[in-house]
Amino acid sequence: MPPAPPHIVVKIKTSQPIDVDDFAAIYTALGSQYRKFVQSRFPEVGEDATI
């Protein structure tokens, strides 16, 4: 069985609704950090790192 591609699993456990704007901002920030991490570990990927 081939290894699974790198991935992130996000589980949100809350009893209250989440503001969509807040969720989008968090997801955008997570994507930015992921790109920085991938580019630092795998410079050959360049700007192609996406989440």
Give the pLDDT of the chain (51 residues) as one tens digit per residue. 678 787 778 788 889 988 889 888 988 998 888 888 888 888 887 666 666
Domain residue limits, the chain: 1-51
Cα separation, 45 vs 19, whole angstroms: 34
Question: In 3D, which of 46, 21, 23 has the Cα closest to residue 36?
Answer: 46
Whole-structure pTM value: 0.55
